[in-house]
Structure 1
């Protein structure tokens, strides 16, 4: 049922023009992408589903991920979660998703209720893998204790300006994926002198250097957003870029730190 997980996929968040993802997903699959990432709150699941269904790539070859929301007062119950996921499946026009994430461990998130529902959805065949987003080690420990399903991934912001060594080490120790969203720091990595110089040396884009640095790490995958064929192909080409140990160490040593996505309810702010 589930497609193989590939280490570079398509992120699909946008605040406007959500219809663009119908064509963008179609172009991405034609270019060779096989991982597509969305979420209920992105309000684009319908267009994602249409893009996948219009593609000549069979659904079983696409690794499709979405995320649930837990900001329903006084907190979603078991049935609310089951119903919410069925809504996502309807909008995506699919019988299952390959990966279902908890979007945030916000104040209304209850591990037993939410992850118990995720386990049930997996048993029903509606979900192939279970993941979380924006979890710190304490939340990961609790999730692993509660889940019957293996924890497949923790999706977090990660790029050369937010290197997330602790969470990468945790993933390597416990054998799950870190899926890096915002891997180009919304373009901020393009202005880093070290990345510019490495890109010039290899005659590639700074985006490829940032993505190749991420892909050099065990247990790390990336989901850059791209909305043009050129950017789609450029990002995918990062798989072929081999950085030297010295170049990797130079990026590892970047001293700036900048978090792009920072919510008041994030665990690092509580």
Structure 2
């Protein structure tokens, strides 16, 4: 979870910088009347020793917003892989991944069938699928499924999206994406990741987990005569690995279960 937020935060800053510079460039073009956009672009490119002559503003705007979606979706896919691994470690259970389902849908279906409470907005999975399909259409030539993208867009509850994110105009259809689509895609991914993570916390049997994963605490015996250090050590290990801060009572129960005091 922490890695996802860090990567998306760094990428957000880069995209915002690109968006700022392109908007400034567009403003500079519109403030002059002498040159067409291709000529203006070529002229400015030459000043920076860049060879750029053949690009229309319309084409660039269309593809720019699609390409913004690549890294957030690939980062979230990596988060889902990590989530599945962590789930197996924490609960000693494997989440099955049927070929006919997306990775996210497989996780959601399994968790809901195993008594995990996940409070996602009704539009979140479909919205994720929409931007995921756009990302796949760019990253993989054999996945240019424009009909599937259009059908998924049509199934999004846009009123619910706007109710949750009232300052954004997105989502837009494939041919009319804007910067708001990038913001919405990233916000939705973060929301899903956060709620998936929170759905696990109250269900973890830390005593059972600690007995199975004693190798996670290799230095615990060093502090055999110092309960305060043992408590701090266990809490820091769990917090560093999963972002969960255990209570003193929970850590005491772990220590007693491991017979280390």
Greater strand percent: which structure? 1
Do Structure 1 and Structure 2 share a fold, with TM-score over 0.5?
no
User: TM-score, normalising length from structure 2?
Assistant: 0.25
User: TM-score, normalising length from structure 1?
Assistant: 0.24
Greater helix percent: which structure? 2
